Structure 1
C-alpha cells in the first residue's frame, strides 16, 4: 500500500486496539523474529522456553518495547520494508493514550452496561490485543492439529476459525509464511484473507505474486 494509506491504517489500528495498541512496526519486526527463530532460545515468544504464559508475555513485552523505543539493535532483515510511523507509535503507545481510551471504555460501560456481570468484560477490553497474541503464541503452539510437518510446535488451534479471524491456522502459516490466505483445507476459511481480497480489488492494497 502507499505511504499515505499506511498512515491511515496506523490510525485505524489505534482506534481498533485502543488502550492495548501494539505498534504495527514493532509487532511486524517481532513477528519476523518469531518465524526466523521459532521455538528456539531466540524466539521472542515460545511456550518451550517459558514456564507459563505470563512469563512468555512478560518476555515478549520486554523485547517488543525494546524494539519500539530503539533500545536494541535489530538485524536489517527483520526491519526491511516494515511500515514505520515512529512519532505516531510513541503517542499511541503512551500512557496518555492508553488511559484516555480506558476512560472512554468506562464511560461507555456506565452508559450502556445494564447488568453488573457485563463489567467483567472490561479488563479483557483493556488488554484485548495482548490477549489475542497470547492465545495464538501460547495455545496455538500447544494444542490443535497439524497439516504440515514443520520444525517448530505450531498447530492449527481451531478447525473453523470464527474467533481469531483465520490466525489460529498457525501451523499453515508457519509452513507458508508468505501466503496471505492462512486456510488450506476446504473448511479452513480465513476471514482476514477475504478482507485482504476486497482491499486488493478496490485498490487500497496490492497483492504481490511470489514464487512458492
Structure 2
C-alpha cells in the first residue's frame, strides 16, 4: 500500500511540475502517448530486449567471475594480498573511463559494451563476496574444526552459507551498477537499445522519448532487483530480519 501511495504521489508531483511548465517538462499524459507510439511500432520492445541482453550478459559474467575470486581472496591471505590492490585500483576508475580503451582493443561491436557492464558488476560483487568471507564468525569455523571437519567441508557447510547474504547484496549493487553503465556503454556504435534511443532523442530535444527510456530502464532494473530480493529471502531464510 505504501508503494502504491508513493507511486501516486510521484505522478501527482510530476504532473504538477509539468503543468507549471518547469523547463518544458513533459507531463505523464504526453509521455504515455509517446510510450504507446514506441510500443505499437515495436521500437520499444526491440530497444528493451537489446538493453536487457547486454545488461544480463555483462551482469551474469561479472557475477560468475566475482564470486570465486572473492572466495579465493577471502579464504587465502596470499591471494588477498596479491589481488586486493588491483581490485581496489580498478574500483577507483569509473567503468565509463575505460570505454575509449575498450573500443581500441575490442572494436565497436557488442564486446566492449558488455565488457564495461561486466566490469561494473564484477567490482561490486567481488568486494561484497570478499567481505562476506572475511566476516564469517571464527567461532563457527573453529567449532567445525573441533568436530573434525576438513577445510573443504568448512568451506561448503559454513563459509558459503554465512557469506551468502553478502554475496546477494553485492549482486544487487552490481545490478544497479550494470544498469547505470548501460547508457554510456550504448554510446559505442549501438544501433538499438534504450540508451541509444535516449541519445538519439537528445539530438532532437525529444523529451518524451527520453522520459520513456528513463522510465523503462527504471522499471526493468526494479523488476530484476525484486527477483534478486526474492532469491535472497529464499536462500537466507535462516537469517533474522526486521
TM interval, short-chain normalised:
under 0.3
User: Normalization by structure 1: what TM-score?
Assistant: 0.24
Name whichever structure is richer in helix by fraction.
2
Q: Based on CA coordinates, which of the two structures has the bigger radius of gyration?
A: 2
Larger relative contact order (CA 8 Å, sep ≥ 6): 2
